[in-house]
Amino acid sequence: MSPEVFESHKRVLKYPMTRLEYINYRNWELPEDEDGDDAGYLVEYLDGGTPNDERHAGYISWTPKAQFDNGYTPVELVGSRANEAKKNVLFRSMLDAIESFTYKADGKYYVGLKGDADVTGLVGSLISGANEISKSLK
């Protein structure tokens, strides 16, 4: 069997995150033979793929920084596509803020503060994000 060669043309969002941060984000365990400190990105595919995490609209995976940086080029979005991308990032930030004071147990979601969560900062982030999305819709 011989492999076929492909060149990627996928449009993705990247979120800087170490391997361990990604594994914790997915609620997985770090295998003993892997380094959790290596730099990389949570990559969310925007152009298809079945979502594999309820917090994301697209399929997500983790990619080491060097492989991502050598395989992707930043895209300059203009007009309505730029606004849509900005809203997507702001919305994701709002969901991350909400997630930081919710937890799931027995298949149900609960509201509660984890550790030393800063309620003022969380609420401020949500209000700021909602205002930015509102402005971009006008």
Q: Which of 28-32, 40-44, 89-93 has the lowest mean pLDDT?
A: 89-93
**pLDDT at residue 109, as a whole number:** 65
Do 53 and 85 sit in the same domain of this protein?
A: no
pLDDT of residue 125: 64
Do 67 and 90 lie in a common domain? no
Claim to verify: residue 99 and residue 49 sit in the same structural domain: no
Torsion (CA) 12, 86, 90, 48 in degrees, nearest 10: -30
DSSP helix/strand/coil, 64: strand
**Are residue 65 and residue 94 in the same domain, yes or no?**
no
Q: What is the pTM of this model?
A: 0.58
pLDDT, tens digit (0-9, with 9 covering 90-100), for 67-115: 999 998 887 765 666 667 667 766 666 666 666 666 666 766 666 655 5
- 52 and 18, same domain (yes or no): yes
Of 118 and 42, the one with more pLDDT: 42
Q: What is the residue range of 89's domain?
A: 79-137
DSSP for the chain?
--PPP------EEEEE--HHHHHHHTT----TTS-TT--EEEEEESS----SSTT-SS-EEEEEHHHHHHH-------HHHHHHHHHHHHHHHHHHHHHTTEEEETTEEEE---TT--HHHHHHHHHHHHHHHHHHH-
